[in-house]
Structure 1
């Protein structure tokens, strides 16, 4: 606890601005910092399309924070909370690796301060309330086939994608679960600026439609107060430390392939007030997390990054690029960043066994194409291994940039989809299925027509062509309004909001040995 309290004092956090949650974790009372006008530099981490094990964005973010603090700068991390789905699934933990980790690793990955459990409970209380309304006579005239609020659970469980529930005798309805990290409550809370903003967003959340096709809002269920009570502490960011005592705000955790993919606005804003440099990670590759940060999160909050760090590894590049002839896949991701005229640094995340020859080819290509790059060996060497990367990032943050937005307020919904598909997926055409097109036409005449879009797409490649079809065309299957989070979900191809477990999932490696958790990697 001494290290945590020392860091809290160093950040000029007063005794009435935090609560201790054990020896290594504190909850910050974010509202007590609202009068602070200081704003540091924002660094956004992204990557190319990752392997199943990821590409070390979190590890690189942690090592960069350690490296910045190591050379005398004041840096803080603002990261997502791990979901139990990936922890027991294929990706494993979300707390870094090697010398670049946040602690306590086991507690952060398993339950932490209970934020995701609180979100799960609040989300499912709303679902239970909808069914309770149906049970007691349905005075709101809810159409059972047009209930859009889904139950959730913080685990991968494909069997819950489609279920049937019994309300009472002769009254059944279909239900589908989403993973907690992609639930409406998660995204709404992540995009809320404070408790009052969250309250208003909840009240304006559409939960269903009535038999006359009018929206039914959460406010009509008279449940907002109970939901706020469940989430009173979950809205407060968690403060922990890296192995080398860099401060880290770990708060909330939406997936980037089916949600927004970045930590809470509250924790990012707080980080910018407490430090010179705040490092934020966007999920999966730049075709997902980065795209949504720029076209959705920044669109709502004016958070233009001072520097973008593109994390790459030889391991991932070899899945896509020919080292002897081209780096087309890498170049496609780099163009995502330069599209906005943003400062960019490429971080080559070193992995033991990397070919010296291949590293040289990569470095020569980056240099020949005028991309700033630096090796990152924080995994093995700690802060010292990220010192040079930190210096490159500082230089980039101090370089003037002329930000150019892609999405504008006058764009129609289809124009927004087209801009993302063309500029991020590099596809010249796409198909909007008939039923989906009718929904878009209705939305274009509604008060939600100016909302940004949140694309739901596979994370393993840029265009979403999982099966490598020769005559591939992206299909827009469905659109849904998340009126609480204030965006429009756009579903492509056959992506599910409830993941499944892989054949060789990570849960097989986890067990207890002498009261210690083993295999949580």
Structure 2
């Protein structure tokens, strides 16, 4: 037996905690929401997909109340947004509410990179944890295959005569893989002679940044999915006319690869609350929300649906509200902003190694980041509550410092212990959420459709990031003008920005203001229905860290996977 197979799973790890619970059969979880046995397709005993035919029967039902969970700007100290989403859903179920949870599927890039898995932590997890963090039901593989099928069709079209007159210098459609691999950011394809096609520059994005993924998460049904895929712009002709994917006549084949994946996945929490886990766009480079079809299905089946948006509220929540809610006609009832005392200390200037030392002054300084996110959400007309995800090292004085700092905003702070106690540790938060959700909705988006694209970017930069100025490269400015002229000016904007700061500088923590936001490139996602603005050094293909998480993942002699977190 080699060293890898001799490893043992840490009994205190999230994987071990998740493994200590026996899930209910997935039919029982479906029955909690009134889903009949013929409304699901089983993927083993604990995973299922909602059947397309059943999903269509839900379209006319009155929706439940949608609760958005978001967070402060992320730090290495950890915030626990997914854990809080799960804990809140469990808490709502514990107090007798018909609740469901909507999350994104983990990408293999972070699982093997720096972040790890995305199934929660402690006693607030979704299961089967290992399945979900790895291949799950194969959705991300299907998205990769469909995306790369279109890539192959483009090069095949060039090889067989290029009837569409595509300019090989202006092909914007790249390839994807669901891993972090910086060596693939820029590549040359078609080398090796005439039999292999025409050499040209190309590149890879991570699958979760694919426009196919964005469409997967924004389409309401198969018919709309196909229409959106057809509208994707793959490049330009030598006369600079935009060419759509539909012209290559491969969209039907792409949809065939995606048909089963497009059915929402149903799993459960450790406390057996139903959870829909579907779609997985990153919030720093994409729109960062789970699929519309899963969210709408959950709203038709439950009275309260708790969902999360990726990274800090300046990214995931803004895109959830300005892109997903705008396109899907969703109206969130309340928002929860997650923070930890430890993370607030980091925003207040404390180094990671000193986070265990009480420091009320640093907490009060770091609350500026939390307050900024709260104020931003209030600009959308949303009632807000703060969930303070508690660590044992937190002192009463530090917690009181958070409450005092937020008092002028009229926002309550609930100390939560769901990581250790499950839903029982978030019951007070659940009661507050119910009270907020009962208020009449005043939700509105940040900007109107008619605002020009450049002004939409400037509005987000000014109102959400508190930038003093937005600088556009000449190429970005010209591309925006080109998009406006082509009739895409009414689309919302999807900002690609570092998740670690309100600015484009990941080292600038806290609540900076007056900075310059540099927009270096803009990309049209015509099928998804938004324009992507890339700022600073943000990459659509991440790289691995010096010590990737993959080094700690193993399979023991019994076939059990360890090292996932």
Cα contact 1:42–1:307 (8 A) shared by 2? yes
CA offsets per residue over residues 407-426 of structure 1, 9 Å max, x none? 10220111101110001110
Cα contact 2:102–2:277 (8 A) shared by 1? yes
Cα separation, partners in 2 of 1:314 and 1:24, compared to 1, 3 Å: same
Hey, what does 2:332 align to over in structure 1?
A: 305
Hey, what does 1:221 align to over in structure 2?
A: 248
Q: TM-score, normalised by structure 2?
A: 0.89
* Aligned mate of 1:122, from 146, 156, 159: 146
In structure 1, runs of 5+ residues without a counterpart are none
Hey, what does 1:386 align to over in structure 2?
A: 426
Hey, what does 1:239 align to over in structure 2?
A: 266
Cα separation, partners in 2 of 1:472 and 1:396, compared to 1, 3 Å: closer
* Aligned mate of 2:395, from 327, 349, 355: 355
| Alpha-carbon offset, residue 369 of structure 1 | 3.9
| Alpha-carbon offset, residue 445 of structure 1 | 1.4
Q: How far apart in 2 are the matches of 1:196 and 1:273?
A: 20
CA offsets per residue over residues 225-278 of structure 1, 9 Å max, x none? 110110111100100010000000000100000000000000000010010001
Cα contact 1:66–1:383 (8 A) shared by 2? yes
CA offsets per residue over residues 464-501 of structure 1, 9 Å max, x none? 22355999522111111111101111111121100011
Q: How far apart in 1 are the matches of 2:165 and 2:200?
A: 15
Tell me if 1:370 matches 2:416.
no
Cα separation, partners in 2 of 1:183 and 1:35, compared to 1, 3 Å: closer
* Aligned mate of 1:503, from 533, 546, 550: 546
Hey, what does 1:102 align to over in structure 2?
A: 126
Q: TM-score, normalised by structure 1?
A: 0.97
CA-atom RMSD in angstroms = 1.7
- What secondary structure is seen at the aligned counterpart in 2 of 1:319? helix
Tell me if 1:60 matches 2:84.
yes
| Alpha-carbon offset, residue 396 of structure 1 | 0.8
Cα contact 1:3–1:245 (8 A) shared by 2? no
Cα contact 2:504–2:518 (8 A) shared by 1? no
Cα contact 1:192–1:265 (8 A) shared by 2? yes
- What secondary structure is seen at the aligned counterpart in 2 of 1:152? strand
Q: Residues 39-58 of structure 1 correspond to what in structure 2 (within 5 A)?
A: 39-52=63-76, 54-58=78-82
CA offsets per residue over residues 207-239 of structure 1, 9 Å max, x none? 111111111111111101110110111100100
Cα contact 1:161–1:498 (8 A) shared by 2? yes
* Aligned mate of 2:189, from 158, 165, 176: 165
Tell me if 1:519 matches 2:558.
no
| Alpha-carbon offset, residue 54 of structure 1 | 4.0
Q: Residues 393-472 of structure 1 correspond to what in structure 2 (within 5 A)?
A: 393-466=433-506, 468=508
Cα contact 1:52–1:90 (8 A) shared by 2? no
Tell me if 1:334 matches 2:370.
no
Hey, what does 1:494 align to over in structure 2?
A: 537
Count of matched residue positions in the alignment of Structure 1 and Structure 2: 521
Q: How far apart in 2 are the matches of 1:471 and 1:463?
A: 9
Hey, what does 1:29 align to over in structure 2?
A: 51
In structure 2, runs of 5+ residues without a counterpart are 1-22, 350-359
